[in-house]
Amino acid sequence: MKKKQPTSVVTGAAGFLGSHLTDLLIARGHKVIGIDNFVTGSVDNIVHLGGNPNFKFIQQDVTEFLFLEGPVDYVWHFASPASPIDYLELPIQTLKVGSLGTHKAVGLAKEKGARFLIASTSEIYGDPLIHPQPEEYWGNVNTIGPRGCYDEAKRFAEAMTMAYHREHKVETRIVRIFNTYGPRMRINDGRVVPAFISQALKHKPVTIFGRGTQTRSFCYVSDLIEGIYRLMMSDYDLPVNIGNPVEMTMLEFAQQIIRATKSKSKIVFKPLPQDDPKQRKPDIAKARKLMKWEPQVKLADGLKDTIKYFRTKV
Active-site amino acid positions: 150
For 272, other C-beta atoms within 10 Å of its C-beta total 15
CA 14 to CA 78: how far, in whole Å?
A: 10
Task: Give the C-alpha separation, 233 to 252, whole Å.
Answer: 36
Helix, strand and coil in the chain, % to nearest 5: 40, 20, 40
**Integer angstrom CA distances of residue 5 from 2, 9, 146, 230:** 9, 13, 44, 18
In this structure, the number of other CB atoms found within 10 A of the CB of residue 283 comes to: 18
Asked if residues 35 and 10 have their Cβ atoms less than 8 Å apart, the reply is yes
- Per DSSP, the three-state class of 203 is coil
Query: Across the chain, where does the E strand assignment appear?
Result: 7-11, 31-36, 55-59, 74-77, 115-121, 172-177, 180-181, 206-209, 215-217, 219-220, 240-242, 247-249, 267-270
- Rounded to whole angstroms, how far apart are CA atoms 310 and 314? 6
Report d(CA 16, CA 119) in Å as an integer.
13
